Structure 1
Amino acid sequence: MDGNGRWAKARHLPRLAGHKAGVEAVRRVVRAAPPLGIETLTLYAFSTENSRRPVEEVNDLMGLLRHHLLAEIDELDSNGARLRLIGDWRAFKPDVVERLEGAMARTAHNSRMQLVVALNYGGQDELLRAVRRLGLDVASGAVDPATLTLAAVEARLDTAELPPVDLIVRTSGEKRLSNFLLWQAAYAELHFTDMLWPDFDAAALRAACLDFAGRQRRFGGL
């Protein structure tokens, strides 16, 4: 979800205004996903690199997380959506962690759609944490390195209980993954749009899905 800052700058507004507009785009997309047949939607909300931004902006983002994203739990729950998280989100302040855990517990019974939010997430960090877990299992004798499989790695990723990634959408005209789902993107289809995230809506999501529907997926075969 890229382009909040540029959206605000083009309108001579503070960056916070762009992030607030981005929250509205999240609302639109989450509402539009189930009618399109999307069963799992992952949103890259806060990266491991975002913490390097100015303290004021990081605080603003945390404020939005507290007061806007979590305020959507009533709607998510009533619409049958289950909230799940990936990333090192437990490193956040205790009050944020407590709210996130409460939101996940409240929606755990829902099955219409999974909304996965990547918080304090980075693909390289995820892989490093998975390797550390494997290392501990090898050191304890629980895993024989000679018998390691791809499935053993995937079982230790943040996305272990989630389905494979079909489509990755990148907004704002940038054409890179930016450390998002690096392992999972191995055979994902990529869709790039010049639209800034605050302008993204149901029509844009539908356009991305139609683009995906026209792809031929061979997964390395013929």
Structure 2
Amino acid sequence: MKEKIDLSRVPQHIAVIMDGNGRWAKKRGAARVFGHRNAVKAVQEISEASAELGVKYLTLYAFSTENWNRPQEEVNALMQLLVNTIEKEVPTLQKNNIRLMTIGNMERLPSDCVKTLRKAIADTANNTGMTVVLALSYSGRWEILNAVKAMAADIEAKRLSSDDINDERFNYYLNTYNIPDPELIIRTSGEMRISNFLLWQLAYSELFFTDILWPDFRKEHLYEAVLSYQSRERRFGKISEQLVQP
């Protein structure tokens, strides 16, 4: 399947809603945390496959603002898994020239998570290959509201005029202001919704839904999503005839 991919038309930014860890564990008669632990392999495979294809940005929806409402035991286990995984994977990121970034409300994360994340981000800051973006304590509505509040404060302080607000200026206030919009969004587990993810940025993203539960997601599933993306006509409001080169 990989050989069928046109490497000149690979999406530069792929975003993934990693869903199905709990159901994967339940099928095996195990606690939900077991599913989260086994999801690490999927992250490793998809990161490696994306880098091999030449993807520039890979955003992983790891923990939403709504996930704080889950049982405290699961939240604690997820936070500890995050710390352990990042500490373990930083040498691999360095070896493969991959940069790490985060988006979301870092202030809500436990102090040990923040410390680990900041160190990993600093250690990989000069890497020039693919950028992996972890969306942690993130939601699209939270991001948009924060942007509106920041713009309102700048208008009140006369650092910004309402007449200056446009798409480009609004982007500047988002967590993703220095990250291109995703061309392809993948959601696993068979659910067909966006779940408050990158609401502003996905205006023209291609969506790919698969029944595969995230812990079972592998390189061939990513290739399938990319091939689906390449089979589509992206018109951005134009008609097909306008896309044909004279």
> Which category of TM-score, normalised to the shorter sequence, fits these structures?
over 0.9
Question: Offset of 1:32 from its aligned partner?
Answer: 1.1
- Structure 2 distance, partners of 1:12, 1:147, is 56
Structure 1, residues 8-59: CA drift from partner, whole Å, max 9, x if none?
0011111111001111111111111111121110000010000000000000
- Structure 2 distance, partners of 1:93, 1:17, is 21
- Structure 2 distance, partners of 1:63, 1:5, is 17
Matching residue's letter, 1:63? Q
- 1:62-211 to structure 2, matched below 5 A, reads 62-211=79-228
SS state at 2:199 partner = coil
Question: Offset of 1:90 from its aligned partner?
Answer: 3.0
Question: Offset of 1:69 from its aligned partner?
Answer: 3.1
SS state at 2:88 partner = helix
Question: Offset of 1:71 from its aligned partner?
Answer: 1.6
- Structure 1 distance, partners of 2:113, 2:161, is 38
Contact 2:86/2:116 (8 A) holds in 1? no
Contact 2:99/2:131 (8 A) holds in 1? yes
Matching residue's letter, 2:63? F
Runs of 4+ off more than 4 Å: none
- Structure 2 distance, partners of 1:183, 1:133, is 16
SS state at 2:203 partner = helix
Matching residue's letter, 2:213? L
Contact 1:36/1:206 (8 A) holds in 2? no
Contact 2:86/2:117 (8 A) holds in 1? no
Question: Offset of 1:186 from its aligned partner?
Answer: 0.3
Which sections of structure 1, spanning at least 5 residues, go unmatched?
none
Q: What is the CA RMSD across the aligned residues, in angstroms?
A: 0.9
- Structure 2 distance, partners of 1:201, 1:91, is 31
SS state at 1:187 partner = coil
Matching residue's letter, 1:159? T
Contact 1:124/1:182 (8 A) holds in 2? yes
- Structure 2 distance, partners of 1:167, 1:119, is 20
- Structure 1 distance, partners of 2:87, 2:179, is 22
- The two structures have a TM-score, normalised by structure 2, of 0.88
Residue 17 of structure 1 is matched in structure 2 by 34
Number of residue pairs aligned between Structure 1 and Structure 2: 222
User: Percent sequence identity over matched residues?
Assistant: 46
Residue 3 of structure 1 is matched in structure 2 by 20
Structure 1, residues 80-105: CA drift from partner, whole Å, max 9, x if none?
00000000123212221111111000
- Structure 2 distance, partners of 1:111, 1:206, is 23
- Structure 1 distance, partners of 2:65, 2:202, is 18
Contact 2:79/2:110 (8 A) holds in 1? no
Which stretch of the first structure deviates more once superposed, 140-149 or 107-116?
140-149
Residue 45 of structure 1 is matched in structure 2 by 62
Which stretch of the first structure deviates more once superposed, 92-101 or 172-181?
92-101
SS state at 1:38 partner = coil
- Structure 2 distance, partners of 1:86, 1:93, is 15
Contact 1:23/1:69 (8 A) holds in 2? no
Which sections of structure 2, spanning at least 5 residues, go unmatched?
1-17, 240-246
SS state at 1:185 partner = coil
